Amino acid sequence: MIQGIMIAALIVGAIGIFIGLFLGIAGLKFKVEVDPKEEAVQGVLPGNNCGGCGFPGCSGLAVAIAKGEAPVNGCPVGGDEVAAKVAEIMGVEAQNTAPMVAYVHCQGDCEKAKSDYVYTGVEDCRMAAFVPNGGPKACNSGCLGYGTCVKECPFDAIHIVNGIAVVDDDKCKACGKCVAVCPKQLIGLVPKSSKIRVACSSTDKGPVAMKLCDVACIGCGICVKNCPNEAIGVENFHAIIDYEKCTGCGICKEKCPKKAIVER
């Protein structure tokens, strides 16, 4: 009886040793070498894994930077401070970039924008965009206000105020998640330093836009005619600012008859 137990124990022990040796040899043979720069870069990235860089999390960006497939300032959350550390690791010079923030190009709140009907479905902008007229708001380009962007933001930088999404510039890290999730494509990234912004994305012609929203851009072009720097134009019936030319003088805001251009 005892002899049988000892034999069984020896067999089990021998199998364990064999498996251990096999796994050890296999680990050495199939070991994946990690670039020290990759580990160092990942160590200085913020670790939010927001995906704003266009890669699957901070580890994905670190791999791309180490391979030279992404710029050292590829992390929108870390900004210039993190970019400088990454540049030092990679042995290159960091280039400062203008901080960006998300901005919702709509101010058609519950008082200013008309509604076609009362919506009682799932309160998700992506779902509401599929109902008749793209949602209950009369302006088919307007913010639906159900907060899909709010749920997507990892920094608590966007909230629904009186029926439309509003971004907190101080909290926004320009990760771009809200930009990607908005079914109306109302959210864009603008320079944080920009004072003047177009708060409308309507693609309706002037007469129609005026009936749907009190503050809709009507594409009249008055802003274009009065801008001293040729920094604003009208495309698809709404104004668009060229921030490389804009000096923030505010003339377009003052001249806009519908107050569709605002100052932040």
CATH of the domain at 238: 3.30.70.20
Per-residue DSSP letter, 83 = H
- This prediction's pTM: 0.79
- Indicate whether 19 belongs to any domain: no
* Cα–Cα distances in angstroms (integers) from residue 6 to residues 3, 15, 147, in the given order: 5, 14, 68
Question: Is the same domain home to 113 and 182?
Answer: yes
Question: Is the same domain home to 209 and 252?
Answer: yes
Question: Is the same domain home to 121 and 169?
Answer: yes
pLDDT in tens, 66-116: 888 888 888 888 888 898 898 899 988 877 788 999 999 999 999 999 999
Question: Is the same domain home to 173 and 115?
Answer: yes
Question: Is the same domain home to 178 and 231?
Answer: no
What is d(CA 75, CA 59) in angstroms, rounded to the nearest whole number? Answer: 11
Q: Which of 137, 158, 190 is the last residue of a domain?
A: 190
- Indicate whether 15 belongs to any domain: no
From the list 200, 207, 215, 204, the residue with the least C-alpha distance to 111 is 215
Q: Which of 127, 161, 190 is the last residue of a domain?
A: 190
- Indicate whether 123 belongs to any domain: yes
Question: Is the same domain home to 81 and 121?
Answer: no
Q: How many domains does the chain have?
A: 3
- Indicate whether 2 belongs to any domain: no
- Indicate whether 5 belongs to any domain: no
From the list 40, 33, 84, 80, the residue with the least C-alpha distance to 58 is 40
pLDDT, mean of residues 18-25? 72
Question: Is the same domain home to 253 and 210?
Answer: yes
- Indicate whether 21 belongs to any domain: no
- Indicate whether 251 belongs to any domain: yes
Determine the 3-state secondary structure of 203 from DSSP. coil
pLDDT in tens, 218-258: 999 999 999 999 999 999 999 999 999 999 999 999 999 99
Q: Which of 138, 166, 190 is the last residue of a domain?
A: 190
Question: Is the same domain home to 120 and 166?
Answer: yes
Burial of residue 52 (number of CB atoms within 10 Å: 0-12, 13-18, 19+): buried
Position 106 scores a pLDDT of 97
Question: Is the same domain home to 65 and 117?
Answer: no
Give the CA radius of gyration of the chain.
27
Question: Is the same domain home to 185 and 199?
Answer: no
What is d(CA 217, CA 237) in angstroms, rounded to the nearest whole number? Answer: 7
Determine the 3-state secondary structure of 6 from DSSP. helix
Residue 28 has pLDDT above 90, yes or no: no
Question: Is the same domain home to 198 and 165?
Answer: no
Q: What is the CATH number of the domain that holds 55?
A: 1.10.15.40
Q: Where are the beta strands (DSSP E) in the chain?
A: 100-104, 158-161, 164-167, 187-191, 196-198, 232-235, 238-241, 261-263
Position 258 scores a pLDDT of 95
| Domain span at 68 | 36-90
Q: Six-digit token pair at 238?
A: 């709404």
Question: Is the same domain home to 186 and 198?
Answer: no
- Indicate whether 7 belongs to any domain: no
